[in-house]
Amino acid sequence: QRRSFVTPLLFLVGGMLILGILDYAGYRATLTPPPPPLQKEFANELGMKFVLLDGGSFKMGSTEDETGRREDEGPAHPVTLRDKFYMGTTEVTQSVFTEMTGTAPSSSAKQGRGGAELPVENVTWQEAVDFCKRLTKDHGKREGWAYRLPMEAEWEFACRAGSTKPFAFGERLIFPKLAIF
């Protein structure tokens, strides 16, 4: 009698163990692998370079005593960017924009002054969004990833580069060394 009780018990425990192993194997098979780690810098096939910014906290907007401040630039207020994001290290060139969209909106291109490697200008917001969509479609780096325009806070965070001054390099612009209008 003792033997008839032990044998079914061993089969039951063994069967449960095998089912548990098979269940765990099935679970592991359905897991998606984690995405590869983000690169600190990368360049796409068009030569556009990007850098990964970690985000952080900064004071967005201009203080009331800042020279040349417009009413829509304040009040200065604290902002925290929690997520990492990529930012282009240079402006989009006329040649890249034309290659992706088939149009050349820049005034220098229309006037026949060349400048293929100069920044594209005279682009509407919608044209810039369409450019990003086309860039994502043709040159997306990975699944679920998209080129996009930066949010205003991301743009200002990147431009300030950790500075609390009006410009990342100091209090004022020096023409034509630091800016050309």
Q: Which residue has the higher pLDDT, 173 or 61?
A: 61
Q: How far apart are CA 154 and CA 137, in angstroms?
A: 23
Q: Please give the average per-residue pLDDT across 32-37, as a whole number.
A: 80
Which amino acid does the sequence have at 162?
A: G
Q: Please give the average per-residue pLDDT across 7-24, as a whole number.
A: 87
Question: How far is C-alpha 151 from the chain's CA centre?
Answer: 10
Q: Which residue shows structure tokens 């994502």?
A: 136
Which amino acid does the sequence have at 37?
A: P
Q: Which of 61-70, 76-85, 128-137 has the lowest mean pLDDT?
A: 61-70
Q: How far is CA 42 from CA 51, 140, 151, in A?
A: 7, 12, 21
Q: How far apart are CA 100 and CA 87, in angstroms?
A: 19
Q: Give the pLDDT confidence score for residue 62 in this predicted structure.
A: 85
Q: Residues 53, 85: contact at Cβ < 8 Å? A: yes
